[in-house]
Structure 1
Amino acid sequence: MKVIIFAFLSGCVGLSVSIPHSFDLSGTHIQEPCNVYEDIFSSYHSDLTDFSLTFYKAVAARSTDYNFVYSPLSVWLILAGMAEGADPFTRQRIFNLINLPYNDCIRQKYYQLATSHIVQADDIKVISNRVLLLDAGVTPNPTWYDIVIKNNLLDVLTAPIRQKPAVIVEEIKRLTHTELPTINLDGNSVILDTVDYNALWTTEFAEARIERAPFHDQVGNRVGFVDLMKVTKHARLGYVKSLKAKVLDLPIGANERFHMIFGIFPESYDVRATFNVVTKEIIFEMLQSFRESYVPVEVAIPRLVISSELDVRTLVEDLGVTSLWNNPAATRNVSHPPALPSSFIQRATLTLDNHGLYSSPPAQAAPYGAPTGLDPEVGNDFIADRPFLFALFDVKTLTCLMASAFSVPT
């Protein structure tokens, strides 16, 4: 994780004296070494997909314009970290929400899979900061701290939250690039989560073909304009029959380690309602529907930057985890005094541009009448000029890193 941006907050603290305390370490220690001989990849993929869908629907339900981006993986990692130090009741609630196994060793394997995608390179930049910011004088449980750091779940920093609340609020906004009107500092801690995506496509979208084009709502009314990035190429497209959705799969980076999947719903009048019926089985159906086109097809998606600020605490409370924020018994094994995070904020930003590692293939039209090799419902193009959904996946683990809906040009 990158926590350099929070150096000021840590530096705000003067000398603090640790208060001796005897933690109850039972249930907070993962035994070493962990030997898991069963293949847990399928269960990991199923469990993470299920959580990503659950949280996506919770985010969408609170979105007024259906324009948002968030990182399900980042929320999952932070909640897992807090669960490792929670009391049995809260721990069970969190484990049930994020589909985390109770077996210590299998849980650790989940953590390894979930964080194995974190590879920064010149072509891929997914920068994540996951921080539990404690008030000065709050002492983390060393065993719990060791677990969350070793497993790359979150970082723990301190700052004078109660001594200098106004200063801390302003610094949080500045360093996390958030514009929230208020940040609740009533407790002795806050959870801060930032995720920034900016990467290069495997092949670029031709610079000369970027076109200013109208963007429509789901019933065809023009609601604004976008810069469409266009290219004619062989592409992976599919058709999800249960949703009547066209989907597009675009590779990212030199080794195509990441893929971005786009979906449009040409036969639906309400994208939100259509997506509400999605299950993980439908996601698997989508992944199996992709086919490489035999002939070049036209692909056009908007060039955009989308950013969202989420009150994750409220969303998690809506999903049944309510004791984590104000019940000292719930976090007694996280720190002394027990951490009471009054806020859990995620700011996510995703940038889509036309730059790629390699030149796009020369534009060419498909021969008239030539078969595409795709489902007939797909046709011979994918034009995202109406509300669409998209998500970033790590190919090796099939983990959803970021998910987004785009309905209104900004």
Structure 2
Amino acid sequence: MQVFVFAFLAGCVGLSVSVPHSFDLRGTHIQEPCNVYEDVTHSYRSDIYNFAITLYNAVVPRSPGLNFIYSPVSAWLTLAAIGEGADPVTRQQIFNLFNIPHDDCTRQKYYQLATSRIIVADDIKIISNRILLLDAGVTPNPTWFDIVTKNNLLDVLAGPIRHNPAVTIEEIRRLMQAELPRINFDGNSVILNKIDYNGLWTTEFAEARIERSPFYDQAGNSLGFVDLMKVTKRARLGYVKSLNARVLELPIGVNERYRMVFVMFPESKDIITEFEVLTPEIIFELLESFRESVVPVEVAIPRMVISSEIDLRTLLEDLGVTSLWNDPAATRNVSYPPALPSSFVHRTTLTLDNHGLHSPPPQPTTTHGTPTGLDPKVDHDFIANRPFLYALCDAETYSVIIASAYIEPTYKN
């Protein structure tokens, strides 16, 4: 996780400061040794998918008819960090609701898997930050601080929230590139999430043909126009019977260590409702449906910039996490005085364009009628000229790093 340190922040709060408070450390320490031979990858993926679905169903009602985007992994890690220092009731509430294992060793392995999904490198541009910003004078619990920093869950910083809220808001707005129209500073802390992805391609769209094309709704009515990046190449496509969906997987990065997954619903009138029946098992079915075409097929994806800023506090309250924000007993093991986060700003940005790192090798063209080796429902192309869902995953675990819905075109009628 890349860490921002700004002038208005005092850095990590001094842990050597003596305070007249005794933390109850029971349940806040991951015991060693753990069973290093147990493979938890499958259960981790299933639990992350469950959380992604829960968050998706909470985000959708707040984004009617709009393009939206969020980061399940980033939000999950942040909530896990807060849960590590919560009182038993709040901790159980968070862990149960968001599929965070209660077993210490399993949870630590989940953390290792989740935090290693985003690697800073030249071939992929992803900036990810998870921050608990405490008011100056609020001191973290040393044991909790040790857990969240050693497991790379969260950065703990200090700022003049009460003393100079105006400056704090401006600095947060700058470092998060966020609008913060309704940030709440009633408490003594705020939770900040940021993840930005800039789509750098290695072999996908570096030399794509850019064509301005109509963009339709599910009924076939024109909504406006998009700039489609078109390539003809062998690609991994599939058909998911449970969703009546066509899917496309594009590899990106050195050694193809990330995957972009696109989902279209040609037989549906409303793509949002299609995911109401989604389960981790259906996601596994989706991933297992991919087959590489035996001949090149046409692939077209819009150039896009999607940015969403979500107040996760409101979503979490609706899901039943209520004591975290204003009950000192809930966070007494996080800090002294107890951290009372009045806002949880979750900001995600996705930029996809045709600027790549390496030019793709030339691909022969194909014509309709040539067998592709794919499910007949897939046909000979994947043209994203109507609403679709998108996810950025890593190639090892297929954790959902970013999830998005593209519903509105760039240029509206």
TM-score w.r.t. the length of structure 2 is 0.95
1:339 maps to which residue? 339
Q: Secondary structure at the match of 2:74?
A: helix
Relative to structure 1, is the Cα distance of residues 64 and 6 closer, same or farther in structure 2, using a 3 angstrom cutoff?
farther
Deviation at 1:378, TM superposition (A): 0.5
Relative to structure 1, is the Cα distance of residues 141 and 245 closer, same or farther in structure 2, using a 3 angstrom cutoff?
same
The answer to whether structure 1 residue 272 and structure 2 residue 272 are counterparts is yes
1:403 maps to which residue? 403
Q: Is the 8 A contact 1:9 1:171 kept in 2?
A: no
Q: Is the 8 A contact 1:259 1:392 kept in 2?
A: yes
Q: Is the 8 A contact 1:12 1:160 kept in 2?
A: no
Mean Cα displacement is larger for which, 137-146 or 208-217? 208-217
Deviation at 1:197, TM superposition (A): 0.8
Q: Is the 8 A contact 1:5 1:175 kept in 2?
A: no
1:349 maps to which residue? 349
1:235 maps to which residue? 235
2:129 maps to which residue? 129
Relative to structure 1, is the Cα distance of residues 206 and 86 closer, same or farther in structure 2, using a 3 angstrom cutoff?
closer
Deviation at 1:363, TM superposition (A): 4.7
Please give the alpha-carbon distance, in whole angstroms, between the structure 2 residues aligned to 1:69 and 1:368: 35
1:248 maps to which residue? 248
Q: Which segments of structure 1 move beyond 4 Å, counting only runs of 4 or more? A: 11-14
Mean Cα displacement is larger for which, 352-361 or 96-105? 352-361
1:310 maps to which residue? 310
Q: Secondary structure at the match of 1:200?
A: strand
Q: Is the 8 A contact 1:194 1:346 kept in 2?
A: yes
Deviation at 1:355, TM superposition (A): 2.8
Give me the identity figure in percent. Answer: 71
Deviation at 1:138, TM superposition (A): 0.6
Mean Cα displacement is larger for which, 362-371 or 72-81? 362-371
Q: Is the 8 A contact 1:13 1:159 kept in 2?
A: no
Deviation at 1:158, TM superposition (A): 0.7
The answer to whether structure 1 residue 201 and structure 2 residue 201 are counterparts is yes
Write the mapping of 1:158-177 to structure 2, written as runs, cut at 5 A. Answer: 158-177=158-177
Gaps of at least 5 residues in structure 1 are none
Please give the alpha-carbon distance, in whole angstroms, between the structure 2 residues aligned to 1:117 and 1:338: 31
Q: Secondary structure at the match of 1:378?
A: coil
Equivalent residue pairs, number = 409
Q: Is the 8 A contact 1:233 1:361 kept in 2?
A: no
Please give the alpha-carbon distance, in whole angstroms, between the structure 1 residues aligned to 2:86 and 2:2: 25
2:41 maps to which residue? 41
The answer to whether structure 1 residue 72 and structure 2 residue 78 are counterparts is no
The answer to whether structure 1 residue 218 and structure 2 residue 218 are counterparts is yes
Deviation at 1:245, TM superposition (A): 0.7
Q: Secondary structure at the match of 2:278?
A: coil
Over residues 42-67 of structure 1, what are the superposed CA-to-partner deviations in whole Å (9 max), with x where a residue is unaligned? 11111111111111121112112231
Q: Secondary structure at the match of 2:316?
A: helix
1:141 maps to which residue? 141
Please give the alpha-carbon distance, in whole angstroms, between the structure 2 residues aligned to 1:367 and 1:385: 20
Deviation at 1:208, TM superposition (A): 5.9
Mean Cα displacement is larger for which, 46-55 or 372-381? 46-55
Deviation at 1:5, TM superposition (A): 4.8
1:282 counterpart letter in structure 2: I
1:259 counterpart letter in structure 2: R
The answer to whether structure 1 residue 155 and structure 2 residue 155 are counterparts is yes
Please give the alpha-carbon distance, in whole angstroms, between the structure 2 residues aligned to 1:19 and 1:123: 46
The answer to whether structure 1 residue 51 and structure 2 residue 71 are counterparts is no
Over residues 107-156 of structure 1, what are the superposed CA-to-partner deviations in whole Å (9 max), with x where a residue is unaligned? 10110011112311111122111000001111100000000000000010
Q: Note the aligned Cα RMSD (angstroms).
A: 1.8
Q: Secondary structure at the match of 1:377?
A: coil
Please give the alpha-carbon distance, in whole angstroms, between the structure 1 residues aligned to 2:253 and 2:29: 38
Q: Is the 8 A contact 1:324 1:331 kept in 2?
A: yes
